[in-house]
Amino acid sequence: MDNRRNTIQRQIIFNAVLDLENHPSAEDVYNHIKPNYPSISLGTVYRNLNLLSENGKLLKVAIANSADRFDHNINSHYHIQCSKCKKLYDIDIPYFDQIDNEVSSKTEFDITNHHIIFDGICHQCQ
């Protein structure tokens, strides 16, 4: 497969994440673009989403017992997930960098990052 095709597919996949704006899984992205690009495979979507996250273009949000989600907001921030509908949302609160230093001082780990996902029940599901 030529590099131009890879680049075009990657852009289509990136644009789908932007369009969806809801922290989509790879399957969500695949279902979104499949009608317009029927030759694309789910494997291609997975590979490109992971590559985009490795290259810092998307944020991969790992969720226990669930599919990874992808976020177009690559700035450090927190998430909240509804325990009922499983939707994932950004939280607009300050990111607490000082936690990294405190954990590092208690554990002697070199902390490079942290991720916190809050659980709750969203307004629509209450």
Q: What's residue 7's pLDDT?
A: 86
Q: What's residue 1's pLDDT?
A: 46
Alpha-carbon distance 29 to 49, whole Å?
A: 9
Q: What's residue 112's pLDDT?
A: 87
Q: What's residue 4's pLDDT?
A: 64
Domains and CATH numbers, the chain: 3-71 (1.10.10.10), 78-120 (3.30.1490.190)
10-residue mean pLDDT series, the chain (126 residues): 72 96 95 96 96 96 92 94 94 91 94 91 96
Q: What is the pTM of this model?
A: 0.87
Beta pairing class for 78-82 and 117-120: parallel
Q: What's residue 52's pLDDT?
A: 97
pLDDT in tens, 69-94: 999 999 999 999 999 999 999 999 99
Alpha-carbon distance 21 to 39, whole Å?
A: 24
The CB density around residue 13, as the number of other CB atoms within 10 Å, is: 26
Alpha-carbon distance 18 to 58, whole Å?
A: 10
* DSSP class per residue in 67-96: --EEES--SS-EEEEETTT--EEEE-S---
Q: What's residue 3's pLDDT?
A: 61
